[in-house]
């Protein structure tokens, strides 16, 4: 059974930075496309970023472009989301997800991901 566990959330001031991490318990981590999503109170879950299996391709949602960076270390079964210039509207629970399907482009839709973590809370104070 593949397990996904996020960490690194917390409280940060507007304009600050935070890095959240996600570790996946599997022997075949490099075969999974990885994604980050977020869900703010009262809103639907939103695509944030995705990274290809090798790490050579990265894709971002509109809210993350130019401020967030997704990366991965396959040797450590870990994917990261570095968030800079944080705004109060970035406040949300951030979820990490793994997709086992080979796609031309990493998925941006929840249903394309097979395994999900429990989420980590990121709160940006104004």
Q: Which two tokens stand for residue 1?
A: 């059974």
* Contact (CB, 8 A) for 82 and 71: yes
β-pair partners for 83: 18, 68
- The span from the CA of 43 to the CA of 8, in Å, is 22
pLDDT at position 104 is 86
pLDDT in tens, the chain (126 residues): 899 999 999 999 999 999 999 999 999 999 999 999 999 999 999 999 999 999 999 999 999 999 999 999 999 999 999 999 999 999 999 999 999 998 888 889 999 999 999 999 999 999
Q: Which two tokens stand for residue 7?
A: 């960490």
CB atoms within 10 A of CB 90: 22
* Contact (CB, 8 A) for 64 and 85: no
* DSSP H or E run through 33: strand 33-39
Could you write out the DSSP letters of every residue in 98-117? EE-S--SS---SGGG--EE-
pLDDT at position 48 is 98
β-pair partners for 36: 49, 96
């Amino acid at each position: 059974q593949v397990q996904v566990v996020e960490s690194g959330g917390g409280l940060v001031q507007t304009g600050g930075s935070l890095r959240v991490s996600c570790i996946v318990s599997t022997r075949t981590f490099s075969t999974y496309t990885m994604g980050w999503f977020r869900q703010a109170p009262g809103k639907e879950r939103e695509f944030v970023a995705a990274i290809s299996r090798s790490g050579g391709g990265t894709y971002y949602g509109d809210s993350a472009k130019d401020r967030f960076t997704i990366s991965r270390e396959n040797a450590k079964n870990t994917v990261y989301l570095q968030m800079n210039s944080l705004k109060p509207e970035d406040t949300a629970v951030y979820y990490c997800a793994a997709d086992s399907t080979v796609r031309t482009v990493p998925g941006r839709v929840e249903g394309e991901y097979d395994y999900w973590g429990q989420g980590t809370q990121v709160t940006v104070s104004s």
